[in-house]
Structure 1
Amino acid sequence: MADLVYPPVIGAALTVFRALDVRIKIVGAEHIPATGGAVLVSNHISYLDFLFAGLGAVRGGKRKTRFMAKDDVFKHGVSGPLMRGMKHIPVDRTDGQPAYDAAVRALRAGEVVGVFPEATISRSFMLKKFKTGAARMAADSGTPLLPVILWGTQQLWTKGRPKTLTKRHVPVTIMIGEPIELAPGDKPVMVTRRLRAAMSEMLDRAQREYPGSPSGPEDTWWLPVHLGGTAPTLEVAEAEDEVEATAKAERRAAKEQGR
């Protein structure tokens, strides 16, 4: 079936990025496989990451990525039809097996499936703990892992910041690493450690080579502490995530009781 929604969505996103003069640099485009399934694994620092990671695959190898995303996004009146039209995969966080099975089927059919192994946006802008789902999907489908690092996207639209999408002239790095092939018998936990180590090295490189810098003392929020910024540490960010998760669970429980 033809992709009727994916191209115009990417085109619309590029129009917005051009209007904001977002300066996109793609590194490692040659690592995008021309054909066959692959699990694209990206860090997560912005609400726009699926667009940029997907753009890297489109420009690098004319591949369309089917991202796994929480099902709430598919229920939204505007984003829902677009997500379904782009054939992304909804994930019910109370029962993720159907989404996992759908992802494996897509991989076996030769699709690129996108995964954020940190599950949620990293407030520290550093790598959080990885879940093993990407490694398990790669093993079950016989496909490689494709590591992707994004840097700069957090300046555009991220958790805890105004949702204005007005910052201009932001450099964005999309770095694509060498595919990681799995051998028979590889344990998902060990593969995930290897994947995270590779992505950590890529993130360090992306940060070192990044051409942007804060415009002033009030613009250091998007830099991690070790780079002289004022973003929360991993430990503080993890505590904030736990508070938010508890509050969401309480709201869901209250909503269920009110039905």
Structure 2
Amino acid sequence: MSRRPSFPARLPEDGTRPPQPRGSASVPLPPQRVAPAGVGLDSQAIRTRMVQKLAAQGVGDPRVLGAMGAVERHRFVDSALVNQAYEDTSLPIGLGQTISKPSVVARMIELLLAGRTDAQGRLGRVLEVGTGCGYQAAVLGLVASEVYSVERLRGLHDKARDNLRPFRLPNVHLLFGDGMAGYAKGAPYAGIIAAAGGEAIPQTWTDQLAVGGRIVAPMVLATGQQALVVVEKTAGQLKQTVLESVHFVPLKSGVA
């Protein structure tokens, strides 16, 4: 008489089936689940879907769409929020700050690119005020020759540095300091972009802007609401255009 197997029967470590008692029916093993390829956060497919949504929302510049599709946004958000990384929503990044919605990042960079560019269609030097987690700086690094990004919060400056290190973008320079003062050593700038809004565009920014350049930034209007503003600099003149309503953190001076 054959010996009955103990219960519960254990699969050997090599995955083979334990011996079956004579006369018993063979019970098939459950199929192993295999994760489908190309659907993870690291896949190009998920970024392509985000880019398609941006195009459907009106972003038409192929330089912007290409850069947005190349930068992995999930690497700039906290691990608890990675499943929302490619949704069109802002997400907290700590210290009361947020990473902007992909549609807002794309919109602002597209407005910046409508200004002064070189023969290859690239921006020259760009000043970013408010590095945050570093995501927008990474996108800018793919459409501009040089990016100087200033962050006033030490904790976010350090986080952005860690986030950007794997991307190896030699043309992106992170600075800890007061963004309202700009960065005179890098001026003049072909473009200045801000991730915080005040009641006026600081004169230091317009002073550091090159002729033919643009500032794209949120600004608080007389109504108390924020709107996206484009400032264009021509010889001896500044032209300001108020666009759609937006919601950004307040522009502050000093460091913390």
- TM-score normalised to structure 2 length: 0.37
Using CA pairs under 8 Å that are at least 6 residues apart, name the structure with larger relative contact order, 1 or 2: 1
Q: Which has the higher helix share?
A: 1
From the CA coordinates, give the structure whose radius of gyration is larger. Answer: 2
